[in-house]
Structure 1
Amino acid sequence: MTTGTLTEAILEFPDNRLLIDLCGEFDRNLTDIESRTGVQILRRGNQLAVHGPEDAREEAAEVLRALYERLEQGREVSSADIDREFRMASPQPEESTAGSSQLEMFGSGDKIEIKTRRKLIEPRTEAQKAYVKSLFENELAFGIGPAGTGKTYLAVAVGVNMLINGLVDRIILSRPAVEAGEKLGYLPGDMKDKVDPYMQPLYDALNDFMPGKQLGNMMAEKTVEIAPLAFMRGRTLSNAFVVLDEAQNATSMQMKMFLTRLGEGSRMVITGDRSQVDLPRGVNSGLADAERILKHIPAISFNYFTGKDVVRHPLVAAIIEAYEDEPNR
């Protein structure tokens, strides 16, 4: 952030009730914006006075206006919404209009929204926005990057959206059951009991988007299915939205097997983090091989995330960046 002359900008918000929501309880939203930009925000009736260097003041004012517009649309403002507005405040690159007919279902203009049974999901970074578009526009898409960047969460959200809008008949979520230091055989119970701990992140995402009773019924009817990667062999997955999570732990043979399950009317998403391979030493990651072999096929999209796209606790981004910088020290 460059420094400039300290000046004041006056922003007027006609609806006092919305202004209260904009400020947040005990002005916590204003405090968040102040800490991110270094400005000072003072409330005067139905106005907010923003003090600080010109570039910081303009950034804070842009975010405040965007959040107020959100409130005018009858929506809430949370810390995640503030974070998204700051991340998305940079100039927008020119984007392809391919697949726009499907995109109209969940967004318009520069805004993208994914409607699910329980909540409305919005991408919080430019990389997430491009990723969501590619999931609607491509039959096969890869999401590659560190933990906490929303790769799996957004993929499951898009799958739920497509299911409730009749674009697919079912959702199939899969993961390699690769342990990090523990063996499946040491876990108690039958095969489902042994495998479920590895599938838990997928259950968590689904529970975020669908009411528990409805999700339970869909799983009983196999409309929604969660299964280890090994169970995919021999199947043809037609009219389905299929997600392979933690794909860096699939072997090359498993990856080829999974990719060739793609059937008529289906969409497939492969997500993974190249820095978290738990395969035995000397076994190649199927994700790395797929990336190298399939990169030249235009109909397959590859979407990449970095530590800047982490949307979990801010410390997660700092931890990832520290590990990425370590080899350079």
Structure 2
Amino acid sequence: METNAHQTKITFTDVELSRQLFGEHDRHLQHIARSLDLQVKARGNTVHLCGDEITVHLARNLLTQLYGLIKERYPVYDTDIDYAIRLLSADDRTLLKEIFLDTVYITAKKMAITPKSRAQKEYIDAMRRHDIVFGIGPAGTGKTYLAMAMAVAALTKGTVTRIILTRPAVEAGEALGFLPGDLAEKVDPYLRPLYDALHDMMRFEKAAALMQQGVIEVAPIAFMRGRTLNDSFIILDEAQNTTSEQMKMFLTRIGFNSKAVITGDITQVDLPPQKTSGLIEAKQILAHIQEIKMVFFTQRDVVRHRLVQDIILAYEAATEKKLAAANGPPPGIVPTVPA
């Protein structure tokens, strides 16, 4: 043990709750020790921490707040520990209860859907307060999933009478004619991610019945033309692949007592080079309208497998390296030439 290591201990009053906090065979404590690179040992309902002072302070804050969540009957998983570490590392004044206990929806499998980052919390609050919300950021940040949860919650509460899910089928183009089946079957593969998110929220049979009744509609964005969508929760997914005309058309379909959520990643545009992304253009044109809220996510908000965040960071670093190589050395610096 290092002589300059900082040591402290925390004793939790409830033995049963402390067991839940520590995890089976102290699994949660071991996870924290690996993640923060410090020594964590449990004796009874007391935890002993040893490491550098800043890390020990973070671990103490983490364990105390996780214990508070468990007291509120929040089930803590390894992924929750990862999200909590990320939040408290960025700001040790963060109150995990304000984020983790904000339940959006309880799925058919009795899983609570809650925000896992500050951006997700801001996004959920924006959907509650605004009729049009843009969620812009990389894959894996929960943009579509949380929007779907809010839509199903609104339908369940009766605040809307239908859910409309749409996205562009930009990869299809003229190749649609070569795919088997009618038009609906041809575009179905491009809408599959929306179905997947929907079936996470409710049983397959219930979702299928609501779709049969027209209460839930999943369609390519071209099907929105000429309609007025009242009493609806509308989600436009993969909006970076809408054209300027499609985005304007979609935004002007919104009727009374409706909410629209537009999600996309402006770094993943699949449109032909000569086409302007409707999402990028809308981000610029609509920024001044106070009733429209734009929420921006970064790689720090990725809530998929932890490797997804590493992959995004690696690609960003590679892109920056390519740009630097293409632009050449800064003025005044002569590149070295091997002898």
TM-score under structure 2 length normalisation: 0.87
Counterpart amino acid of residue 79 in structure 2: A
TM-score under structure 1 length normalisation: 0.89
Partner residue, 2:113: 121
Partner residue, 2:221: 229
The SS at the match of 1:317 is: helix
Counterpart amino acid of residue 30 in structure 1: L
Specify whether residues 180 and 188 from structure 1 end up closer, same or farther in structure 2 by C-alpha distance, changes over 3 A only. closer
1:22 and 2:21 correspond:
yes
1:250 and 2:249 correspond:
no
Aligned partner of 2:257 among 259, 265, 278 = 265
Residues 140-219 of structure 1 mapped to structure 2, 5 A cutoff = 140-179=132-171, 183-219=175-211
Partner residue, 1:278: 270
Specify whether residues 181 and 322 from structure 1 end up closer, same or farther in structure 2 by C-alpha distance, changes over 3 A only. farther
Kept in 2: contact 1:83–1:124 (CA 8 A): no
Partner residue, 1:98: none
Kept in 2: contact 1:4–1:54 (CA 8 A): no
CA distance in 2, matches of 1:203, 1:4: 56
CA distance in 2, matches of 1:92, 1:243: 34
Partner residue, 2:50: 51
Counterpart amino acid of residue 6 in structure 1: A
CA shift for structure 1 position 315: 1.9
CA shift for structure 1 position 112: 2.2
CA shift for structure 1 position 180: 7.3
61-70 vs 149-158, which moves further: 61-70
CA shift for structure 1 position 170: 1.2
Q: Deviations for 1:176-215, whole angstroms, at most 9, x for unmatched residues?
A: 0111799333332222222221111111111111122221
The SS at the match of 2:271 is: coil
Specify whether residues 275 and 13 from structure 1 end up closer, same or farther in structure 2 by C-alpha distance, changes over 3 A only. same
Kept in 1: contact 2:105–2:114 (CA 8 A): no
CA distance in 1, matches of 2:221, 2:172: 16
Query: Over the residues paired in the alignment, what is the CA RMSD in angstroms?
Result: 2.3
CA distance in 1, matches of 2:314, 2:298: 12
Which ranges of structure 1 fall in alignment gaps of 5 or more residues? Answer: 94-106
Residues 81-92 of structure 1 mapped to structure 2, 5 A cutoff = 81-89=80-88, 90-91=91-92
Kept in 1: contact 2:107–2:200 (CA 8 A): no
The SS at the match of 1:88 is: helix
Kept in 1: contact 2:69–2:97 (CA 8 A): no
Partner residue, 1:69: 68
Counterpart amino acid of residue 105 in structure 2: K
Aligned partner of 1:220 among 189, 205, 212 = 212
Partner residue, 1:311: 303
Kept in 1: contact 2:230–2:257 (CA 8 A): yes
Partner residue, 1:99: none
Specify whether residues 4 and 193 from structure 1 end up closer, same or farther in structure 2 by C-alpha distance, changes over 3 A only. farther
Which ranges of structure 2 fall in alignment gaps of 5 or more residues? Answer: 322-339
Partner residue, 1:32: 31
Q: Deviations for 1:251-280, whole angstroms, at most 9, x for unmatched residues?
A: 000110000000000000100011111112
CA shift for structure 1 position 134: 0.6
CA shift for structure 1 position 309: 1.0
Counterpart amino acid of residue 270 in structure 1: I
CA shift for structure 1 position 117: 3.9
**Deviation beyond 6 Å, 4+ runs, structure 1:** none
Partner residue, 1:100: none
Kept in 2: contact 1:4–1:53 (CA 8 A): no
CA distance in 2, matches of 1:71, 1:139: 34
Specify whether residues 250 and 4 from structure 1 end up closer, same or farther in structure 2 by C-alpha distance, changes over 3 A only. farther
134-143 vs 8-17, which moves further: 8-17
Specify whether residues 217 and 108 from structure 1 end up closer, same or farther in structure 2 by C-alpha distance, changes over 3 A only. farther
Specify whether residues 236 and 22 from structure 1 end up closer, same or farther in structure 2 by C-alpha distance, changes over 3 A only. same
CA distance in 1, matches of 2:262, 2:36: 37
Counterpart amino acid of residue 238 in structure 2: E
CA shift for structure 1 position 284: 0.8
CA distance in 1, matches of 2:258, 2:97: 25
CA shift for structure 1 position 24: 2.0
Counterpart amino acid of residue 133 in structure 1: D
Q: Which has the larger radius of gyration?
A: 2
CA distance in 1, matches of 2:4, 2:160: 56
The SS at the match of 2:40 is: strand
Kept in 1: contact 2:164–2:233 (CA 8 A): yes
CA distance in 1, matches of 2:21, 2:97: 23
Specify whether residues 63 and 182 from structure 1 end up closer, same or farther in structure 2 by C-alpha distance, changes over 3 A only. farther
The SS at the match of 1:183 is: helix
